[in-house]
């Protein structure tokens, strides 16, 4: 029986370009553009869910686990908002880059080279971030089960990923990798994409209930990402643990 979700090919792929994480014009340019909407979505939903009043450090005392944290593009803003952040990634190189960048910016973030099923924890988390990671793992069922175990009761899990549609193949692979060259060719595999319905069912088995789901699309005129009713390519969802 398989007991890990690490896809070695995917880890090698991201390890090779790990030095580029903090270059807004490099291989991770799409994530830099995507980051503002991710940060706002996560922040607003945490504030509303936990009824937070602190405007300066709205995520103070919130324990967040950022899974597949990469170089820390999301862990750092969460830390600046006051959260106690643990970032885990299966790539040692990613973790090294993240640690160096956090130290340089005087941020206390606990980065660990691990996958969720291997991560040793003392206490559970209020919030888990699964942002643009689920389409890069092996055994999605085990991955989500492991994530659920790390989350407190009434805790939140955010998932951002790509739908499994013909449109997502045309836009996220042909368009983004081959035509626009936003991403290195081979970044995504259509077979690994997951529909919102399939994701919701898999999380339901692990006591996570869908609270909110939105499409995310790129606005070419304004050169930014925005929320949309169209979930046929990118989507972002909030789940709560029963």
pTM of the model: 0.94
For residue 47, the number of C-alpha atoms closer than 13 Å in the C-beta half-sphere is 15
Q: Token pair for residue 205? A: 């088995």
3 inside domain: no
| Residues of the domain holding 57 | 8-241
- Number of domains the chain contains: 1
Q: Token pair for residue 1? A: 């029986």
Task: Supply angle C-alpha 180, 181, 183, rounded to 5.
Answer: 125
128 inside domain: yes
SS3 sequence, the chain?
A: CCCCCCCHHHHHHHHHCHHHCCCCCCCCHHHHHHHHHHHHHHHHHHHHHHCCCCCCCCCCCCEEEEECCCCCCCHHHHHHCCCEEEEEECCHHHHHHHHHHHHHCCCCEEEEECCCCCCCCCCCEEEEEEECCHHHCCCHHHHHHHHHHCEEEEEEEEEEEECCCHHHHHHHHHHHHHHCCCCCCCCCCHHHCCCHHHHHHHHHHCCEEEEEEEEEEEECCCCEEEEECCCCCEEEEEEEEC
83 inside domain: yes
Strand 125-131 to 208-219 pairing:
unpaired
State the Cα–Cα distance between residues 88 and 68, nearest whole angstrom.
6
Q: From the first residue on, what is the mean pLDDT of each consecutive set of 10 residues in the chain (242 residues)?
A: 83 93 93 96 97 92 97 98 98 97 98 96 96 96 97 98 96 88 88 97 98 95 94 98 96
State the Cα–Cα distance between residues 126 and 64, nearest whole angstrom.
6
1 inside domain: no
What integer pLDDT is reported at residue 129 of this predicted model?
98
36 inside domain: yes
2 inside domain: no
CATH number at residue 172: 3.40.50.150
31 inside domain: yes
122 inside domain: yes
What integer pLDDT is reported at residue 55 of this predicted model?
85
What integer pLDDT is reported at residue 2 of this predicted model?
59
């Amino acid at each position: 029986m398989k007991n890990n979700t690490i896809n070695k090919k995917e880890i090698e792929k991201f390890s090779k370009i790990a030095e580029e994480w903090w270059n807004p014009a490099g291989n991770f340019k799409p994530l830099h553009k995507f980051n503002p909407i991710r940060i706002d979505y996560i922040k607003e939903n945490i504030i509303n869910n936990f009824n937070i009043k602190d405007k300066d450090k709205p995520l103070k005392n919130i324990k967040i686990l950022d899974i597949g944290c990469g170089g820390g593009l999301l862990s750092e803003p969460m830390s600046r908002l006051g959260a106690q952040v643990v970032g885990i990634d299966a790539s040692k190189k990613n973790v090294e880059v993240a640690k160096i960048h956090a130290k340089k910016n005087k941020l206390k973030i606990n980065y660990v080279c691990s996958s969720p099923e291997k991560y040793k924890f003392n206490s559970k988390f209020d919030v888990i971030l699964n942002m643009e990671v689920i389409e890069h793992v092996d055994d999605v069922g085990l991955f989500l089960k492991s994530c659920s175990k790390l989350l407190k009761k009434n805790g939140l899990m955010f998932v951002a990923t790509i739908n499994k549609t013909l449109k997502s193949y045309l836009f996220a692979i042909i368009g983004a990798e081959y035509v626009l060259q936003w991403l290195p060719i081979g970044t995504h595999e259509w077979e690994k994409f997951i529909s919102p319905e399939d994701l919701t069912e898999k999380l339901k088995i692990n006591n996570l209930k869908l609270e909110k789901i939105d499409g995310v699309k790129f606005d070419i005129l304004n050169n930014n990402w925005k929320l949309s009713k169209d979930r046929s390519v990118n989507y972002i969802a909030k789940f709560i643990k029963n």
